């Protein structure tokens, strides 16, 4: 594996990722507090962005197929407004099917809240620190960053989120792996926090908007946000990436 390169643009990120490379997960309390701080900030940034959108934009399809921008916001809201055990019950009630549980939660949220209320609640609960069973704070952060990219790329715009945050998300996903992908593949591609590494085995990923690269093999190059979408199986993102490894990704 080639050496990981981290930009000096974000104080603190490099030290966290160096520790992450060794432990393959963040365990130190200070680091966990930093992740929650980033999660809060990015939830607020997303809420601010969504508040400026038209009803047509909120109804637009994201790069997570069959999910609108409003659906993605409702999905992200579930982790901030449900307890760990409420989330567990929703998962069990859906027959241990992640996709079905997500769709049910989205439908329930739309029944209770308007788009304006979803956005306001996302902002009001930005500091929530709930984690679903089996998912660490960095997994919650990875979900958030991925769906922010889903929304921004679909609308051909940007959300005010530091590019370094996408790097942290990429690093986390690179080490998430399941031995059996049958339980992680859905119509939406791979779940953002599980088995993403299998999709990029034998490829060298290189960001063009920050000094970061990982892996070895055929090149896949593009902005960090698009690399996250490629790693999570968003086929629509591949058209905006370059390198000989892109065609390999299309076949996976």
Q: What is the DSSP string of 80-140?
A: HHS-HHHHHHHHHHTTT-HHHHHHHHHHHHHHH--HHHHHHHHHHTTT-----TT--HHHH
SS3 for 189? strand
Residue 3's pLDDT is what?
A: 29
- Cβ-based neighbours of 134, under 8 Å, separated by 6 or more: none
Residue 135's pLDDT is what?
A: 74
Q: Which of 34-43, 57-66, 164-173 has the lowest mean pLDDT?
A: 164-173
Rounded Cα gap, residues 225 and 150, in angstroms: 9
Per the model's pLDDT, the better-predicted residue between 240 and 172 turns out to be 240
Domain boundaries, the chain: 13-250
> pLDDT tens, 161-182?
999 999 988 888 876 654 333 3
Report the pLDDT averaged over residues 223-235. 93
> Taking the C-alpha atoms of 106, 110, 115 and 121 in order, what is their torsion angle to the nearest 10 degrees?
-70
**Considering just the CA atoms, what is the radius of gyration of the chain in Å?**
17
Long-range contacts of 235-240 (CB under 8 A, 24+ apart): 235/189, 236/63, 236/153, 237/63, 237/153, 240/153
For residues 13 and 168, is the Cβ–Cβ distance under 8 A?
yes
Q: Which residues pair with 213 in a beta bridge?
A: 206
pLDDT at 138 over 50: yes
pLDDT at 127 over 90: yes
Report the pLDDT averaged over residues 55-73. 95
Confidence of residue 136 (pLDDT cuts 50, 70, 90): confident
- Cβ-based neighbours of 78, under 8 Å, separated by 6 or more: 87, 90, 102, 105, 106, 109
Report the pLDDT averaged over residues 129-134. 80
For residues 6 and 14, is the Cβ–Cβ distance under 8 A?
yes
For residues 109 and 152, is the Cβ–Cβ distance under 8 A?
no
pLDDT at 6 over 70: no
Confidence of residue 144 (pLDDT cuts 50, 70, 90): very high
Q: Which residues pair with 207 in a beta bridge?
A: 222
Q: Is the dihedral of CA 183, 189, 194, 195 positive or negative?
A: positive
Which two three-digit tokens encode residue 65? 């197929």
Confidence of residue 242 (pLDDT cuts 50, 70, 90): very high
For residues 57 and 69, is the Cβ–Cβ distance under 8 A?
yes
Q: How many CB atoms lie within 10 A of CB 83?
A: 10
Residue 31's pLDDT is what?
A: 75
> pLDDT tens, 68-119?
999 999 999 988 887 777 777 777 776 666 777 788 889 999 999 999 999 9
Residue 92's pLDDT is what?
A: 75
SS3 for 41? helix
> pLDDT tens, 149-158?
999 999 999 9
To the nearest whole percent, how much of the chain has pLDDT over 70?
A: 77
């Amino acid at each position: 594996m080639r050496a990981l390169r981290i930009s000096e643009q974000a104080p603190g990120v490099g030290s966290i990722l160096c520790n992450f490379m060794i432990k393959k997960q963040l365990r130190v309390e200070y680091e966990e507090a930093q992740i929650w701080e980033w999660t809060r900030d990015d939830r607020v940034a997303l809420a601010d962005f969504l508040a400026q959108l038209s009803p047509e934009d909120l109804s637009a399809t994201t790069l997570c197929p069959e999910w609108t921008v409003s659906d993605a916001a409702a999905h992200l809201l579930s982790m901030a407004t449900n307890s760990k055990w409420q989330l567990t019950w929703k998962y069990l009630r859906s027959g241990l099917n992640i996709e079905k549980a997500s769709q049910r939660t989205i439908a329930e949220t739309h029944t209770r809240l308007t788009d304006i209320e979803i956005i306001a609640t996302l902002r009001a609960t930005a500091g929530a620190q709930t984690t679903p069973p089996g998912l660490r704070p960095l997994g919650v952060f990875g979900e958030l960053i991925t769906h922010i990219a889903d929304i921004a790329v679909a609308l051909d715009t940007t959300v005010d989120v530091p590019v370094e945050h996408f790097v942290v998300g990429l690093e986390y996903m690179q080490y998430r792996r399941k031995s059996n992908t049958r339980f992680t593949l859905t119509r939406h591609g791979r779940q953002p926090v599980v088995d993403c590494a299998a999709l990029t085995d034998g490829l060298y990923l290189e960001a063009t908007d920050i000094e970061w690269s990982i892996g070895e093999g055929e090149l896949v190059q593009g902005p960090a946000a698009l690399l996250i979408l490629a790693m999570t199986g968003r086929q629509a993102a591949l058209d905006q990436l370059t390198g000989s490894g892109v065609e390999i990704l299309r076949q996976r």
